[in-house]
Amino acid sequence: MISMMAQAPVSYRKALEGCSCEIQYDVSIAPYTSLKIGGPADVMAFPKTVTEVVAVMKRVSQHQLPFFVLGGGSNVLVLDGGIEGVVIQLDRLNRITRVDTRLLFAEAGVSYPKLSTHAMGCGLSGLEFAAGIPGTVGGAVAMNAGIPGEETWEVLKEIAFVDDKGEFEVIPAEYVRHGYRSAALPKGVVVSACFSLSQAPVEQIEETIKGLMKRRRETQPLSFPNVGSIFKNPAGAYTGRLVEEVGLKGYSVGGAQISDRHGNFIINRDNALARDVLDLIKKVVHKVRQERGVKLELEVRIVGRE
């Protein structure tokens, strides 16, 4: 859920006056999410440098504004009432630099698939799994994005971070606890990450990526807006299979539907509302609990006001 701080003042304009980065007010957020759902954000800030991130976070802290960091929006369900406070969107932080023979630096707004392709071009192996994971480097760090057997924090050396007081710090990867689709980060903004990779022939990396992408095309409903897996896979089971077993594949509410291709995907089939998606989520949780005795845990992050 959104990071809430006490007493959000009414005048965002005054609080953010003089910030050099682009600020927009009352912005429709749906286009910034892969599900294409969600009400407006009160404020959106689009920093293009780390200095601008620091400046925004200092104002946020000083005026006790609620804030939310948005990457590619490929793992969030924004509710129909939109997001209160300042949404910090990092698309413009998009630099990639090869640091040495094995290290690759990327700013938080770099698309994860783009970084994977870049690593391949450098003959660097370790980010093949990222080729099919939409979203940004910052989102992948926050979510510990991955595929079975491979995940983001396994190839991270360090991250750079701006905390909720606007203080910049570099955090070595070994200092951060992480698990399946989670990383215990403090409140704030990941502004960049440095990846430790290994050298390998480009053709070999390309082959691996091709195989992974083929499998995605075969199993995922990629032609409709979606948010990837809605739930985490419970230990020793696959949520998609559980959903199929309880007969909910293809089930719909309003414009949202549980994909008939992959039971752990909800698609926005026809102008769905967040409310439709929430109803589907509740239905799945209830039925899988009732009929299979399994308690599902959300992978998607739900943010905003109902």
Ligand X SMILES: Cc1cc2nc3c(=O)[nH]c(=O)nc-3n(C[C@H](O)[C@H](O)[C@H](O)COP(=O)(O)OP(=O)(O)OC[C@H]3O[C@@H](n4cnc5c(N)ncnc54)[C@H](O)[C@@H]3O)c2cc1C
Q: Quick check: 46 and 89 in contact, CB under 8 A?
A: yes
Stretch that binds ligand X, among 55-63, 68-76, 97-105, 283-291 (CB under 6 A): 68-76
Size of the site for ligand X (CB under 6 A): 33
Six-digit token string for 122: 């450098």
Q: Pick the stretch among 128-136, 233-241, 255-263, 269-277 that binds ligand X (CB under 6 A).
A: 128-136
Candidates 90, 106, 183, 281; binder of ligand X (CB under 6 A) is 90
Among 43, 87, 115, 140, which residue sits at the site for ligand X (rule: CB under 6 A)? 140
Residue of the chain from 73, 82, 85, 166 that contacts ligand X (CB under 6 A): 73
In the chain, DSSP assigns E strands to 22-28, 40-46, 67-70, 76-78, 83-89, 96-98, 103-107, 124-125, 146-147, 150-151, 156-163, 168-172, 178-179, 182-183, 188-196, 198-199, 252-253, 256-258, 266-268, 301-303
Task: Find the part of the chain contacting ligand X (CB under 6 A) among 54-62, 134-142, 206-214, 278-286.
Answer: 134-142
- Give yes or no: 181 in active site: yes
Name the token pair of 132.
Answer: 């099919």
Residue 74 in the binding site for ligand X (CB under 6 A): yes
Options 111, 116, 125, 229, the catalytic residue:
229
Q: Give the largest Cα separation in the chain, rounded.
A: 57
Q: Which residues pair with 266 in a beta bridge?
A: 258
User: Which of 72, 82, 263, 304 is close enough to bind ligand X by CB under 6 A?
Assistant: 72
Non-local CB neighbours of 138 within 8 Å, separated by 6+ positions: 69, 71, 90, 93, 108, 109, 189, 190, 191, 193
Judged by CB under 6 A, does residue 253 bind ligand X? no
For residue 288, the number of C-alpha atoms closer than 13 Å in the C-beta half-sphere is 26
Nearer to ligand X, 82 or 287 (CB): 82
Identify the active-site residue in 74, 158, 181, 192.
181
Q: Give the binding range for ligand X (CB under 6 A) out of 8-16, 73-81, 230-238, 246-254.
A: 73-81
Distance (Å, whole) CA 29 – CA 78? 8
Q: Map tokens 């990867």 to a residue.
A: 173
Q: Give me the active site residues, please.
A: 181, 229, 299
Give me the residues that bind ligand X (CB under 6 A), please.
Answer: 34, 68-76, 90, 108, 133-136, 138-140, 142-143, 145-147, 181, 189-190, 220, 222, 226-228, 301
